[in-house]
Chains A and B, each alone.
Chain A
């Protein structure tokens, strides 16, 4: 039953990805011109003489004289073989460019996710079980502040104070002294010193959102009759809470995994630019601006793929955790 369910979900992924890739390709090709025309225009604006024949050659070389459908097929075929294409701007394969930044991005993202969970869970449970207490009001207020303050503003404030109080260098994920050095204990220490700023800033909004969601979900579940039943059996309150309402309120949390996976690799773009982090976020934005077709398209496609995989994982986890999804199946009218 479960295997059948998983197979079905995997099959559904195929049309989803096809539609997504077509959308991404269309959107990126929507603006007038292409990378080479943008490049030529930029060079002319800076007073350099563009070598038009070279640009024509490159256009031909990369198939930009062919109709869009053909280019789309060529791109997708490459993706299927693991070839993400070639970045014109960096003059390197997309895979290498993204790969360089992926490690740092994932480090920031994982730390952020763990920070979010560690902070949001106890606070959410506390708020729900102590509804309308001073503690609940205070934490709710803090959470709303976290939601409402723009991330880039938080980033600037944090950088300023980190520099004043701890002497941490401004921007980046590592002290400039280590920038081009191989990984070492000292460098790792420097990374960790810098890491907490982006983690708190990027995590602030997510944590606040998760506290609100967990509190609301848990409050609903605490009203349910089966929780009364559990207590009527004589279970201690903590155990009754963990086994029944908390377990039920986890469903929303697991569905969230689908969104987490792509956000691990995408890196929070705006914050990353403000903090000048060497993550993938700023890379994507620059690629979109310069119409670096393969870099932008392939990276977006990679994110979509991770989203679909994330949704699959959360669906499977839900099916394992919740027998109603596993056993009841969908009813049709």
Chain B
């Protein structure tokens, strides 16, 4: 404390925030538990400090403590949080000692420390306009006439990227896209020109190209306004591109901290090295495995892998000409109204060979989930054909109904994104895994129990867990239960819809490895849907890229990453942040309207004036790109 009061000039070397030996305890059901155990870190003025860790490591709790917004069960049990305002450098406030809802902390919150969150949709009130919410923050800390406030707000909205700030002022959050919502949040957090911005996973919920834009905006605003940023994230790629200093936290303890150069080039602590090894990246060799932070339970080894079928065999699943249009808007009584139709799936076709993993990549809203639901027969397409061929008979999936459909169902199974909501909280693991066997009448109860035990071992779970309910498992364990359930009926095709995007990096590596092993052992066929290119790169043999309901490029994995032909694919690849200081993102290259805005694509990739439909043009080696039939192939290949 004494040392802090020594000469404090407004210079770059001053620490805005200095946390020392911070301890935070949570009391749950009468048991108190330390969540943050003596953490120390600093945020220098005008710099970006990244706080990196897995979920549950205490990084969000630290940010809540800085804002004085700890949940009721939590409290600071020791240490100090010293905040020094660059506008009044001689006074140092210890936030840890301020009363939780007192005036002191409220003047800092929003006024001197701004905060943005992971989910911009839920962070903004849906029943108040964007302008109203920003205005509230401004007038609270800087009372001024409304007209003047309105001018400031519109200037700010323009600055964060709203093309028509006057109109944006009166919009509601649900009328905006995810990226614009996060921009509105930024405008709200920065309207009072705070000295510190706390960004808690600000881009985790956004698509990669939008993420690149928002990160770029944050850096620009930082340069203009000179605020410091405390960036909380688990994504080392984002850290490498944004941070000046890095703090690594694990189970409430700081493992390592220092300038980003030191941390990335000379990681001393094994935890950080492990974290780097656990995340999939584009430079992985064939057959290279992710190293999970904590190895899961060993699984029984299957001796002989099934024979791989001949390459020229008919594909297991063959999809042709799928169309699906959703109609939204109000329908009036007299047939008019404000209906708009959205082409969710527009002439989509692909094959999945037996034993192959086909990756389906695209940003949110591109139609990839709709495609999977059509294959599952959960959504009926407007037109198209889905043929399932197991080598013995050809099944027209869309033509099935009644008992035929019921008998077909076990052959295609699904692994879902959210391991919490996809398991019934009222069923034990035993019941969850037995249910598919019971529905399809596989074996007597004794055989079913035996089968369930086998499944548990297959996915690396202890059979003693069978009588537990899902809530007593971690996210990774729950996802294993979901995988076991999908395997229960010995399906031939498994659709994985974003199976790891709700999981932490370390757990993600375990699940991806498990899926790979299962595929190798049983010759499973996967349709692997994800928005994360690195994950798809790790899993898939061939990759289809979807944009605006169409497959714009389809290629073997190597070809897609080495020679991407479509501008959308290139924009996606350009926007992925690498956890590598030597390959920083060029933020300015990100397409202004998002990568799926086809007005930025080359003429060859858009429907031309002659209205001829785009077709997949072969570029050789099974590499196809959607372009005008008249386009010159040599020009398309980079």
| A215-270 interface (Cβ within 8 A of B) | 224-226, 228-237, 243-244, 247-248
Residue A329 interfacial (CB < 8 Å): yes
Contact at A236–B101, with CB atoms within 8 Å? yes
Residue A96 interfacial (CB < 8 Å): no
Interface SS of chain A: helix
Chain A: CB-nearest residue to B112: A234
Question: Among the listed B136, B189, B327, B329, which residue makes an inter-chain contact with A235, where contact means beta carbons less than 8 Å apart?
Answer: B136
Residue B84 interfacial (CB < 8 Å): no
Question: Among the listed A8, A232, A323, A329, which residue makes an inter-chain contact with B69, where contact means beta carbons less than 8 Å apart?
Answer: A232
Contact at B330–A329, with CB atoms within 8 Å? yes
**Interface size class for chain B?**
35 or more
Q: A230-B125, A244-B125 are in contact. Are A329 and B328 (CB under 8 A)?
A: yes
Chain B residues with Cβ under 8 A from A322's Cβ? 126-127
Question: Among the listed A225, A226, A243, A329, which residue makes an inter-chain contact with B329, where contact means beta carbons less than 8 Å apart?
Answer: A329
How many Å lie between the Cα of A331 and that of B342 in the bound state? 11
| B134-192 interface (Cβ within 8 A of A) | 136-137, 140-141, 172, 174-175, 185, 188-189
Contact at A324–B188, with CB atoms within 8 Å? no
| A287-333 interface (Cβ within 8 A of B) | 321-324, 327-333
Question: B295 to chain A: closest CB distance in Å?
Answer: 35
Contact at A233–B109, with CB atoms within 8 Å? yes
Per-residue interface assignment for chain A, residues 139 to 181, with 1 indicating a CB less than 8 Å from any chain B CB and 0 otherwise: 0000000000000000000000000000000000000000000
Chain A residues with Cβ under 8 A from B185's Cβ? 229
Interface SS of chain B: mixed
Chain B residues with Cβ under 8 A from A248's Cβ? 125, 127
Contact at B124–A229, with CB atoms within 8 Å? yes
Residue A18 interfacial (CB < 8 Å): no
Residue A27 interfacial (CB < 8 Å): no
Chain A residue total in the interface (Cβ 8 A): 32
How many Å lie between the Cα of A248 and that of B108 in the bound state? 27
Q: A244-B125, A321-B127, A333-B326 are in contact. Are A234 and B107 (CB under 8 A)?
A: yes
Contact at A229–B172, with CB atoms within 8 Å? no
Contact at B69–A332, with CB atoms within 8 Å? no
Question: A114 to chain B: closest CB distance in Å?
Answer: 26
Contact at B123–A226, with CB atoms within 8 Å? yes
Residue B115 interfacial (CB < 8 Å): yes
Residue A54 interfacial (CB < 8 Å): no
Chain B residues with Cβ under 8 A from A237's Cβ? 101
How many Å lie between the Cα of A327 and that of B326 in the bound state? 18
Question: Among the listed B101, B109, B172, B189, which residue makes an inter-chain contact with A327, where contact means beta carbons less than 8 Å apart?
Answer: B172
Chain A residues with Cβ under 8 A from B338's Cβ? 329
Contact at B69–A228, with CB atoms within 8 Å? yes
Chain B: CB-nearest residue to A11: B333
Chain A: CB-nearest residue to B107: A234
How many Å lie between the Cα of A224 and that of B137 in the bound state? 18
Contact at B69–A231, with CB atoms within 8 Å? yes
User: Could you list which residues of chain A lie within 8 angstroms of chain B, going by C-beta atoms?
Assistant: 4-5, 8, 11, 224-226, 228-237, 243-244, 247-248, 321-324, 327-333
Known: A225-B119, A225-B122, A229-B115. 19 other contacts (CB 8 A): A4-B330, A8-B333, A226-B125, A228-B123, A229-B117, A229-B123, A229-B124, A229-B185, A229-B188, A234-B106, A234-B107, A234-B109, A234-B111, A234-B137, A247-B127, A248-B125, A327-B172, A330-B331, A331-B327
CB-defined A-B contacts under 8 Å, sample of 22: A225-B122, A228-B117, A228-B123, A229-B188, A232-B114, A232-B189, A234-B109, A235-B110, A235-B140, A237-B101, A247-B127, A322-B126, A323-B126, A323-B172, A323-B174, A324-B172, A328-B174, A329-B328, A329-B330, A331-B329, A332-B331, A333-B326
Closest 4 CB pairs of A and B: A234-B110, A329-B330, A233-B110, A234-B109
